[in-house]
């Protein structure tokens, strides 16, 4: 029989510390530019991904311009090629061939359908002065 020494196993300690660090007091940040929720007017949440009102405008510019890229302090936003059929929108999960267009930072991707929904959320909620974070 094994006796308990009173010490907390290292992996249990690590998980407790990690939970504290990821607690509710941690600020959420945009997956496209890295700005925290208090630095932007609106932060829209997807499943583990976020986009701010400023990046919604940037992505719209990327998808409508011939250059097809925009820079942020965090990453470059580029239009996703039609040939990249395996890439999925990190907000809705649709693949590139299922949507009209898509933009990506390399780790976060957004399709035109989710971008349109973000535009609707921003126009409605910023006009009404609503909360800062919304989930789609």
pLDDT (0 to 100) of residue 17: 45
Please, what sign has the CA dihedral across residues 93, 122, 133, 55? positive
In 3D space, the residue among 110, 102, 108 whose CA is nearest the CA of residue 85 turns out to be 102
User: Does residue 135 register a pLDDT over 80?
Assistant: no
pLDDT (0 to 100) of residue 5: 46
The pTM score is: 0.74
pLDDT (0 to 100) of residue 4: 41
Q: What is the mean pLDDT of the chain?
A: 82
With contact defined as beta carbons under 8 Å apart, do 32 and 105 qualify?
yes
User: Does residue 2 register a pLDDT over 70?
Assistant: no
DSSP H or E run through 112: helix 112-128
Q: What is the pLDDT of residues 70-100, one digit of tens each?
A: 988 889 999 999 999 899 999 999 999 999 9
pLDDT (0 to 100) of residue 66: 80
Q: How confident is the model at residue 15 (pLDDT cuts 50, 70, 90)?
A: very low
Give the Cα-Cα-Cα angle 111, 114, 117 (nearest 5 degrees).
150
Cα separation, 96 vs 89, in Å, equals 7
Q: How confident is the model at residue 55 (pLDDT cuts 50, 70, 90)?
A: very high
Q: What is the pLDDT of residues 37-52, one digit of tens each?
A: 999 999 999 999 999 9
Cα separation, 79 vs 69, in Å, equals 6
Rounded mean pLDDT, 109-129: 90
């Amino acid at each position: 029989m094994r006796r308990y020494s009173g010490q907390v196993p290292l992996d249990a300690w690590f998980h407790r510390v990690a939970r504290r660090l990821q607690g509710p007091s941690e600020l959420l940040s945009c997956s496209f530019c890295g700005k925290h929720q208090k630095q932007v007017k609106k932060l829209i949440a997807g499943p583990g991904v976020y986009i701010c009102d400023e990046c919604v405008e940037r992505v719209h510019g990327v998808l409508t311009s011939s250059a097809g890229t925009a820079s942020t302090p965090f990453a470059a936003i580029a239009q996703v090629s039609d040939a990249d059929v395996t890439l999925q929108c990190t907000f809705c999960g649709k693949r590139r061939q299922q949507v009209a267009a898509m933009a990506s930072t390399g780790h976060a991707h957004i399709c035109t359908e989710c971008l349109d929904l973000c535009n609707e959320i921003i126009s409605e909620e910023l006009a009404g002065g609503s909360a800062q974070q919304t989930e789609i």
